[in-house]
Amino acid sequence: MTLKSLTLAALLALPLAAQAEVRDASVAMQVAPAVDLNRYLGTWYEIARFPNKFERGCTNVTATYAMRDDGDISVANACTKGGTTEVIEGKAWVVDTAKLKVTFVPWLGNIAAGDYWILDLKSNYSMAVVGAPKGDFGWILARKPTLSNADTDRALGVFAANGYDTTQLEWVQH
């Protein structure tokens, strides 16, 4: 598939990308008090996610963040489907301390950008909980492909405190 057809497919899929809500939006969402972006950069393993169409069937999911020359952040999400690893690249930018916008169709700017809020972050940057205020997305991320029971419980507690229905989480195989 050419880059032009991939872009067209992504544009056509935007209306379909809307997900079922997994969060009670009446609950005020709390974000991490501070994020050192330089420490946040690097590769994260997706431990769990709320169901979404663009990750359906994905295993071995990672997200790699790096600083771009223009001050924005490059995003490379990789997943394995049917034995083949697929990578999609995008960009992110900081809106507020723990609030970012992410897009995989950068030439559309804010129109195709989604919220990426860091709800919790361990002080050693080994685990993060990420969500979106509309309640359509959420992830548990870690620097390793597994997470301790204590960190898993912590992440579930953060989601629950932010109005998420944690019974809907999908656990990612690595």
For CA atoms 149, 154, 155, 160, the dihedral sign is positive
Structure tokens at 5: 């057809």
CATH superfamily membership of 3-171 = Calycin beta-barrel core domain (2.40.128.20)
Residue 96 pairs with which residues in a beta bridge?
Answer: 99
Report pLDDT for 174.
96
pTM: 0.88
Report pLDDT for 106.
82
Which stretches of the chain score pLDDT less than 70? 1-20
The CA distance from 70 to 95, in Å, is: 15
The CA distance from 36 to 79, in Å, is: 26
In degrees, rounded to 5, the angle at the alpha carbon of residue 55 between the alpha carbons of residues 32 and 167 is 60
Report pLDDT for 20.
62
